[in-house]
Every structure is written in structure tokens, then in C-alpha cells.
Amino acid sequence: MGDVPDRTEPGIDSAEQKTSLFGTRTEREEIRSLVEKERALRDVANLIARAGADVDVIAVIVREASRQVRGLPVTLAQFVGPRQLLVLASPDGPAAAGTRIVFEADTLPDRVIRTGRPFRVDDYRTQPDAEMAARFGIVAGVAAPIVVEGRTWGMFFVSSAAGPLPPETENLLAAFAQLVTASFDSIEARSQLRAVAEHDAAMRSIQHDADGGALTDVATRLVEYAAKLGGIEHATLTAIGGVEVAAANPVLSMTDSSIRPTQTVTFPVTAQQERVGAFTVETTLPALPSQTTQHLTDLSDVAGRIILAITNRQHLSELIDEHASLRRIAELAAHRAPRARPLDDILAVICRAASEQLGGQEVTLLQFESADTIVAVATHGGPVPTGVRVVHPPGSLSDRVARTKKAVRVDDFDALPSAEIVRRYGIRAGVGVPVFIDDRLWGAFVSTSQIAPLPADTEQRLEGFAQLTWAAIANAEAREILRRLADEQAALRHVAELVARESPLPTVFRAVVKEAARVLDASSAEVVRGHVGGSGGARVVAEVRLQPAAGVHHAEAPILVNGESWGTLAVDSDSPSRIDGRDRLKPFADLMAAAIANAEHRAGLTQSRVRVIAAADEARRRLQRDVHDGAQQRLVHTILLLKLARDSAAAGGDVSELLADALAHAEEANRQLRDIVRGILPAALSRNGLAAGIESLAAETPIPVHLTLVIPRLPPALETTAYFTVAEAITNAVKHAQATQVSVSCALSGNAEELVLTIEDDGKGGADPSRGTGLTGLRDRIEASCGTIEVVSPAQRGTRIVARIPLDASDRR
């Protein structure tokens, strides 16, 4: 083996060697600083992974970045339009969150978005935006891009009021930018959930304030909320009755004076299919953000219901004022009791007031349940008790009101086909006027007499009470719509929280069917996997049955996962009005799709890790087997032969043959060990880089391999991943695809951020990673390096594999 040489170099004492070994104090401080920054990045990454939907992850990242640059203000902004930035977080920075900034050409943000690289400004006095910088006390600054899916999505910006920033600032901001990029999906999902929660809270608050509030006050609340939505400069709400209110975005917009809103967007406000107003918003963006559009759509829907409820309530009050004698109705409106008292009580009060105004005549409110059936829903002094259903014959008073939709008078019931029915109740004469709800005949207000015909003005006076009845019922229906909307939003929030917490799919499924059935007042709900008649059939994975349904009405919404149909969410009811279309089911189906996609992604990651571990274990077993069965056996033979030669030499015998055999075994063992080492990591790869490794691989392949290699030396881990990716792809082409030739191309991407590998063969094609053709291992290897792989393999037309591996893959891992 030889002696171990003395590693102490002459002329260097031990103190100098310690300095050389551990570095100077400055170097140690730099190392400590790097360790602290790496720890900070790791802590923030862990927080992002663990944070709930209520945590403002972006603000956490910005605060930590500020701490790493010695407390200097850090801003995170998003590019939202041509030369426009939206500040998302800036705890101590010059611009508040929500600020929109229009920047000029050749400024710091302009250079960042054009080049996708970090930039610094050491003296803002020489910059085009020097005036704005001076206004906020900025002397110098550094910006680093945040790249998402290949485009510059936003940037980090740190500013200084004292002088140029340290030289390592760009690298530090770039590291935090990469952290945002790596966690973008998680951050964006949490931001969306938080935005939904905040939007729901605002809607609940506005709806709460609308109960009893004036239309102008509620409209002001609505338009002020609309003006605060992302991308909006100014908002206006017009409503029936001449109401018009406007509001501007209260957050400062740092724009050039020449900048004006590029477009005006109008969102109609409707209620019960009638236009009752409109939201008009102005924006400087090419298009409103999708979330803003959705929130404005929701806001328009809620505004329509609120405006209808308020105007109905106002109309009711006006009618009450016109009929000052209706004291009980006026008292009812003054106490704002409709929410506390059932509709039946209100209708009873109206009937009592109508009876008083008609001199104590019998008054009954009838509802048309079907073509020939009526039910008494309220009465005062009337002969027909509340809740009684009567089948009215053709030609009767109620039948004539239903057919003509006009007021009808009968001075003597003895001449009508219904004489026998009304005689049972002691009725001699009567007047009926129709009650309409949204141009739909709902019922009839009927006054009867057991003595003589009713006064001539009875029809006119009853029509006023019919209008009061319309207002009361419409107001109650509007409140029911708002209550139903609130229940629906609460149910969706409950399911969304389960999805955000990554609850098991059965738990999410059970919650969805339960909430959907409750919100839609359905008799049953179920989640069905697959489709009837499909290749795999259909099966119910979750269901709830609240009550048996007689005449079943059915509605369903598809569950789409990654653009493909996974199954359906279906509900059944005995009334079509309860399950009014699939639109109310869609939000539940979308949440289920998100939960399923998340679960499939987690399962895929778990399976990939299991396959990687299994492959590593198998490689170790194969290495042990190869060494034991090959080189080790040869070395054992060599030792035995050498011992025999030693004993023979001691006895004076001829040992040349024994030594020759021992040498042959030793050389064979050496050859086998070289083969094993080359299988672990080829010498050409480790010594001369990826290009040399692939060339040696091609030389050993039994079919022609055409190479196009335009690559420099790369990090060892990246070269190893790329080499074995090419090796496995060539092996698949030879063993499975029966190819006669292979072409391999290796080059850096246009922005020099990725290594692009392209392997093509002329084999039989039809490769499918799910069938274990060797492509599964390729995919695991690439995805473990944060890369992507695309396989195109049509039958009988060869296979094309394109793998992209980021150059900073080792850092990402």
C-alpha cells in the first residue's frame, strides 16, 4: 500500500495552516451570513407549505426579504399591463399595497420586464423617473424579476435613501424571487381563497346593512366596494328611482398625468329578469382581472336583489302612506317586522286592514295552486278557513279571475255553476281582483257578502290591497333569495376549507353531497364516478338521501379534472324550482375537481418517490450481486492461487503456472471492476463532461447514434441526470422500440436557463409511461430535478422524447 505522506508543507507553520483550513474572520462571517440567508429561505419555504388560507404569504416573504437586507424597504409588485405595476406588498416601502404605478421606458421596471434579469440603479438622479424617486426619498434601488411559467410575472424591489446597495443584493432578491416562483401555485391558491373569503365577508356586511337601510346609503356601500377591486380606477352605480353614486379607488395611483382609463365596462344589475341599474367601471388595464370580473358579476347579482328588496319595501311604505287608515300595516312597516314575522302574519294583517276599509266585509286571499285548485292563505272574517283547498268549477268567481286576469264581480251566486259550493259557506255575492307577482297570476283577493251585493268601489279599493299583497310577497321572496345566497356561500366556504386543508376525498365528497342537498332543498344528492355506458361504467362514491322523492326532477353538473371528465354531481327533488339548473351545482363540482386534482398530484408524488427509492435499492442489490458473483470470486481465486504458489515455492516447486493463473484472475477481476465503475459513473463523463459521456455511450450502442451536442461543462449533478436520461432513452429504443437508428440533441434553451435534451428513434412507437416501458423511470428522474418531459410516440412512427432540466435544479431540490 505504501507509506502515507506527510501533508505538512515545508515552510508553513500550524497557525497559517489553520487560517488556510478555516478561512479568515471575514470569510467566516461571509459563510455565516450565507448560512443565515439559506436558513431564512428554508424557514419561509416551510411557512408557505404549512400556512393556512388566512395567512398572507406574500407579506411574510416580503418582511423576511426586508430583514435579510438589513431592514431596508422591500416591495413585491406584479406587472399587470403595458408599463404598469400593481404593488402587492410593501410593509415599509414607498408605495402602499394596491398602488398602481405606470413606469416610463428605460426605467428599472422596464429593463426588468424586457430582459427578465436583475438590475440596479446606484443614483436615481440620472434616471427617467428621477422626479418620482425624489418624491419618495429613493436614492438607489435594486430589482429582481419573478418568473412564472417562462414569463416575467412581477419583481422584487429594494430601495435605499442613503446610497448604493450592497453588491450581493441582486442575488438575495433573486433567491426570494425563486422562492415565490417555486411556491407560486400555493401562494396564488391561498390568495384566491383569501380573496373569496374577504369578498364573502364584504357581501355579508353589505347585505346586513341593506336590511332597513336607504337605497342611497346601500348603493354608496356597493360602489365603494366596487371601486376597491383590483384594476378599477373609478366606479359608478345607477339604480331605479334616479339614484346615482360614484367612487374612486382610494389607493394612490402613481401615474403620468396623460394616462387615462383605457376602457369602460358596464355590468347590468338585474332582478327577476328586469334591469334595475348598472355598474360602470373604468380601468387603465387592457382587461379587468378575471377575479375582479367575477366579483363585479356577484356584486351586480347581489345589488339587484338588494335594490329590488329596498324598492319593494319603499313601494310598500308608499302604499301604506296613501292608505293612512291602514294603521296595522303602517305599524308593521314602521317596526320593519317582515324579517321577524312570517309572511302569513303579514298577509293576515293586510286582510284585516282591507276588511276594516270595506266596512267589515269578509276578505280572503286565495292562491291558485293549479288550474282548478285554490287554497285560502289568509282571511279576516271570511267563511273559508285558512289552509282549506277547494276545486273551483268552470265559470266560478275564482275561475273567471284566473281566465280573464281582471277584476270580476258576482252580485248573486245562485246563477253560477259554483252556487252549491258557495251556498255551503253562506256566500251570496262577491268581488275578486287578481294578484300578480312579476306579471305572473299568483292568486286573487276576494271580498264576500252573505246579505247583499258589495259597494261599487269595492274592486278599486281591493286592487290597492292586491298591490300591497304583491309587495309583501315579492319582498319576502327577495329576502328568501338573499338568505339562500348566504346559505349557498356558507356551504361553499365549508367545502373550500376542507379542500384547502387537504382533507381526504371521502370527507370532501360527503360534505359536498350533504351541503348541496341542503342548499338546493333536494331530496337526494350523489357523486358519481365515471359515466353510464363508459368503458369503466359508473359507480356512486358518495350520496345522501334526506327524504323519498315522488315525481323526481333531476339536475347534474360535470366534474372536470385537468380538462377531462371525472364524473358528475347530481341532485334529485320533487320540485323543479328547488334545483333551478346546474349553475348552482357548478361551484360545488369545481371544488370537488380541485380536491381530486390535488389528491391525484399528491398520490403521483408519493408513487414517484417510492419508484425512485425502489430503483436505488435495486441498483444497490445489482451492484452487490455483480461484485460478489464477478470480481470478488476472481479475487478469491487469485488469493488461493497465490497461497498455493507460496507453498510450492517454499517446497522448491515450479510456481510459474500458478502465478499465471493468479494473474489472469486478477486481470479479469480488474476488468470487471472497471465495467462496474463505468456503469455507476462513466469515466468520460466525470473527467470530460456530458458531451464526452454521451459520445462514449453512442460508441458502445449497437445501432447508429447521430449526435448534436452544443453544450458547455455543466454542474456535475446536472450532467449525471442528463447522461442517464439519454442512456435510458437509447436503451429503450434498442430493447423495446426495435429502432435502427437514434438521434440525440443536447443544447441550452434560448435564455440559457434550461438544458434541453431531444432523443428521437425510428422504432415501432406506441410507448406509454403508464405501462412500464421504461419511460416511468425517465419521468421520475427528470421530475426529481424539477424538470419536465414530453413523450410523443405514435404507433409505427417512432418515439420523440424532449426533456427540459433547469440549470439550477440542484438549488431547487
Question: Is residue 323's pLDDT more than 60?
Answer: no
Q: In terms of residue numbers, what domain contains 129?
A: 27-182
Q: Where does 272-407 show beta strands of DSSP type E?
A: 274-283, 362-368, 373-380, 389-391
Is residue 591 domain-resident? yes
Task: Decide which of 649, 680, 711 is a domain's last residue.
Answer: 680
Among the ranges 354-368, 412-426, 473-487, which has the highest mean pLDDT value? 354-368
User: Which pLDDT score is estimated for 50?
Assistant: 55
The average pLDDT across 376-384 equals: 82
- Domain boundary residue among 663, 680, 697? 680
Do residue 661 and residue 543 come from a single domain? Answer: yes
Q: What is the largest CA-CA distance in the chain?
A: 153
| CATH number of the domain encompassing residue 600 | 3.30.450
In this prediction, residue 800 has a pLDDT band, given cuts at 50, 70 and 90, of very high
pLDDT digits (tens, 9 = 90+) for 456-485: 778 877 877 777 676 666 666 666 666 666
Based on the fold, state whether residues 757 and 739 are members of the same structural domain: yes
Beta carbons of 438 and 271 less than 8 angstroms apart: no
> Does position 8 have pLDDT exceeding 50, yes or no?
no
Q: Are residues 285 and 368 in the same domain?
A: no
Mean pLDDT on 3-31: 49
| Residue where one domain finishes, among candidates 481, 516, 539 | 481
Domain membership flag for residue 497: no
Q: How confident is the model at residue 802 (pLDDT cuts 50, 70, 90)?
A: very high
We report the CATH number of the domain holding residue 36 as: 3.30.450.40
Answer yes or no: do 105 and 206 share one domain.
no
Same domain, 446 and 379: yes
Tally of helices (H runs) and strands (E runs) in the chain: 23, 26
Same domain, 506 and 642: yes
Point out which residues pair with 758 in neighbouring strands: 745, 802
Instruction: State whether 691 and 675 are in the same domain.
Output: no
Q: In terms of domains, do 203 and 168 share one? A: no
Q: Are 268 and 349 found together in one domain?
A: no
Q: Is residue 257 pLDDT above 90, yes or no?
A: no
Q: Are residues 561 and 676 in the same domain?
A: yes
Q: What angle do CA 692, 696, 698 make, to 5 degrees?
A: 115
Say if 194 falls within a structural domain. Answer: no
| H or E element that contains 115 | helix 108-115
Return the DSSP state at 332: H
Instruction: Band the pLDDT of 277: cuts 50, 70, 90.
Output: confident
Residue 751 sits in a domain whose CATH number is 3.30.565.10
- Asked if 676 and 729 sit in the same domain, the reply is no
Band the pLDDT of 18: cuts 50, 70, 90.
very low
335 falls in which pLDDT band (50, 70, 90)? Answer: very low
Cβ(61)–Cβ(44) below 8 Å: yes
Q: Report d(CA 742, CA 763) in Å as an integer.
A: 9
Residue 154 lies in a domain: yes
Q: What is the 3-state secondary structure (H, E, C) of 428-465?
A: CEEEEEEEEECCEEEEEEEEEECCCCCCCCHHHHHHHH
| CA dist., res. 565 & res. 583, Å (int) | 17
- Position 418: which residue type? S
Give a yes or no: residue 358 inside a domain: yes
Q: Is the pLDDT of residue 633 over 50?
A: yes
Q: State the pLDDT at residue 624.
A: 66
Please report the pLDDT score of residue 5 as a whole number: 44
Q: Quick check: is 491 in a domain?
A: no
Pair 167, 251 in one domain: no
Residue 486 lies in a domain: no
Residue pair 445/365 in contact by the 8 Å Cβ criterion: yes
Greater confidence (289 vs 22) lies with 289
pLDDT of the residue at 442: 84
When computed from its CA atoms, the radius of gyration of the chain, rounded to whole angstroms, is 40
Is the pTM above the cut of 0.75? Answer: no
The string of pLDDT tens digits covering residues 170-205 is: 888 888 888 777 766 655 655 555 566 666 666 666
The average confidence (pLDDT) of the chain is 74
Q: How many domains does the chain have?
A: 5
Contact residues for 655 (Cβ-Cβ < 8 A; gap 6+): 645, 648, 649
Mean pLDDT confidence for 96-114: 85
Q: Does the pLDDT value for residue 760 go beyond 90? A: yes
Q: What is the pLDDT of residue 20?
A: 47
| pLDDT tens, position by position, 204-227 | 667 666 666 677 777 777 777 777
Mean pLDDT to the nearest integer, 749-769 = 86
Residue 2 included in any domain = no
Among 235-239, 346-350, 388-392, 681-685, name the one with the lowest average pLDDT.
681-685
